[in-house]
Amino acid sequence: MCACHSIIKLKVLKLFFSLTSTQIRRLYLVNTDYLCGFKKATRKPESKRVVPEEPGPPHTESSEAAIQRRTPAPQWDQQAPSGPPRAFGRLFRPLVFTVGFTGCAFGSAAIWQYESLKSRVQSYFDEIRADWLEKLQPQKRGDVRKEVNQWWNNLSDGQKTVTGIIAANAIVFCCWRVPSLQRSMIRYFTSNPTSKTLCSPMLLSTFSHFSFFHLAANMYVLWSFSSSAVSMLGREQFMAVYLSAGVISTFVSYVSKMATGRFGPSLGASGAIMAILAAVCTKMPEAKLAIIFLPMFTFTAANALKAIVAMDTAGLVLGWKFFDHAAHLGGAMFGIWYVLFGHELIWKNREPFVKIWHNFRTRGGPGRGGDQGGAM
């Protein structure tokens, strides 16, 4: 019996080394079951040794899950997909939100410009009265309010426009430091196509930064290009382009993540800022730019835009995960398109909408008389 058993083992070993890994696994399971049944009466420990083999994979999976739970990863990385990985039907609502928000942004900008022009005459007389009163009143030295007003008046129109954006980003950055707000911040201020909340984060994540370096870099670029962008577009059109670019770039990021299966939350104003940068570089391609750390090296705006687009394209194709390259490309493409075509198609065709608003304001809106409608 022992010699027969040894011969069987020897043949099994020879066959073992000549088979593939899949065949080895199948043969091992069959041979183990055979040995356990053959020596069930004499060697009971054999059956005990086989029992842990079957639940092996579940045990390994649970240990890996335990390791992941102990890993100090950022809290927003713990979101799990709530549906099929590539359910493109989830993008319908974000698409509707993107189109609707973009239309509302430019419509609101047109109304804002109309109201600004209408109140400019009244503001002119208010400024004259303020200057006259300032001459009558004695000036106070060291007044903080006066110094703040002087600082504000020395800013360009573009810098004044983006000051509110920078302040909003700073407030959201501080909110990330409040532990009790972490859950809400992850849900509403990070964009992820697998999240339960899809639409509102497309806008709110544009004002969200978790890293101070990320915040400082984005706000510096925005501040640097604000004067050129606002002088080129006007503050109303600038705000419409900036906010629309933030939402559009997030939607492009959604599409890319669904197509590639590389899911994960994103946040930051980079997509919107890329649209402003691309618009300025497209409108003024020969403008000279420089890097803050290397001011001695200058290059044209057109070359800078080409380099940035090339880098983000490579990052998207190669799967780099340090930046959301799809959002960057979405913002840049929107900025280029708007300067070349969008301004003519959208902004210059706002007159019918402005006339509707003018008639509404002149008549005073629903429930008001025509005589009262002319009052500001």
In the annotation, is 328 catalytic?
Answer: yes
Given the residues 231, 270, 343, 358, select the one marked as catalytic. Answer: 270
CA atoms within 13 A of residue 1's CA, in its CB half-sphere: 2
In the annotation, is 270 catalytic?
Answer: yes
Positions marked catalytic: 270, 328
